[in-house]
């Protein structure tokens, strides 16, 4: 498919920002090396306290509950993911983004939409952490990867889709996408992965989980 124009990509990024603003949840990917120290310094300077600080993760909260920052280090994606929440979080997040820089959603979308790009699966997995609300464009993006002729791309798309469901707290189109993928998949191990992912999605959303029979000891 032809690469979207920069105007289209920026427009899509604005749509994502609007969805985040509507839900008071803003999620971005930051450079790993410099971001943790900057996030901590700015959070404490703005009056937030460190509720949790563990290896690779931290949580900072305002005493009145009107702002919080949660960070998660992802060596696999080579980013520090940050989620800001609350009515007073935006200016704090804005200062962090200005100091640390961030991976623009429009750029990530441009890479993810080019499934032949070796970095496309990584871009999709990064974007999966930003799905605060489902819409048709999200569904189309995951479908694009799930329909790839490359089984590695399909595998990564299944994992990314599962992440998106957990971030959104909503299954959205995931069950239908996985059902279709299971019907089409020719690789048994990848089909099993899709079935496991569908059970995870069902578990997250409270839907019935399909149970797999456990063979008796010694059974062949």
For residues 96-117, average pLDDT:
96
For residues 180-208, average pLDDT:
90
Q: What is the pLDDT of residue 203?
A: 84
Q: What is the pLDDT of residue 189?
A: 97
Question: In this model, does residue 220 exceed pLDDT 80?
Answer: no
Q: Please report which confidence band the pLDDT of residue 34 belongs to, taking 50, 70 and 90 as the band edges.
A: confident
For residues 185-189, average pLDDT:
97
Q: Please report which confidence band the pLDDT of residue 213 belongs to, taking 50, 70 and 90 as the band edges.
A: very low
How does pLDDT run across 71-98, given as a tens digit for each residue?
A: 999 999 999 999 999 999 999 999 999 9
For the domain 24-103, what is the CATH superfamily, name and number? Kinase associated domain 1, KA1 (3.30.310.80)
DSSP string, the chain: -PPPPHHHHHHHHHHHHHHHHHHTEEEEEEETTTHHHHHHHHHHHTT-EEEEEETTEEEEE-TTSS-EEEEEEETTTTEEEEEEESTT-HHHHHHHHHHH----HHHHHHHHT-TTSTTHHHHHHHHHTT-SS--HHHHHHHHHHHT-S-HHHHHHHHHHHHHHHHHHTS-TTHHHHHHHHHHH---HHHHHHHHHHHHHHHHHHTPPPPP-PPPPTT--
Domain boundaries, the chain: 24-103, 134-205
For residues 105-115, average pLDDT:
97
Q: Please report which confidence band the pLDDT of residue 207 belongs to, taking 50, 70 and 90 as the band edges.
A: low
For residues 147-163, average pLDDT:
97
For residues 53-69, average pLDDT:
92
Say whether pTM exceeds 0.75.
yes
Q: What is the pLDDT of residue 5?
A: 93
């Amino acid at each position: 498919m032809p690469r979207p124009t920069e105007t289209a990509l920026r427009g899509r990024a604005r749509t994502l920002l609007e969805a985040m603003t509507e839900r008071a949840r803003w999620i971005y990917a930051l450079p790993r090396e410099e971001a943790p120290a900057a996030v901590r310094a700015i959070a404490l300077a703005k009056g937030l306290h460190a509720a949790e600080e563990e290896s690779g993760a931290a949580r900072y909260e305002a005493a009145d509950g009107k702002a919080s920052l949660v960070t998660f280090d992802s060596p696999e994606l080579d980013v520090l993911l940050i989620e800001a929440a609350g009515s007073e979080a935006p200016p704090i997040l804005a200062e962090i983004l200005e100091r640390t820089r961030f991976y623009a959603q429009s750029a990530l979308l441009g890479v993810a939409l080019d499934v032949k790009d070796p970095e496309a699966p990584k871009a999709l997995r990064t974007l999966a952490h930003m799905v605060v609300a489902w819409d048709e464009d999200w569904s189309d993006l995951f479908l694009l990867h799930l329909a790839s002729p490359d089984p590695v791309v399909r595998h990564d798309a299944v994992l990314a889709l599962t992440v998106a469901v957990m971030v959104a707290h909503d299954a959205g189109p995931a069950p239908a996408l996985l059902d279709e993928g299971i019907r089409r998949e020719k690789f048994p191990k990848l089909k099993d992965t899709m079935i496991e992912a569908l059970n995870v999605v069902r578990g997250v959303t409270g839907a019935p989980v399909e149970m797999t029979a456990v063979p008796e000891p010694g059974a062949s």
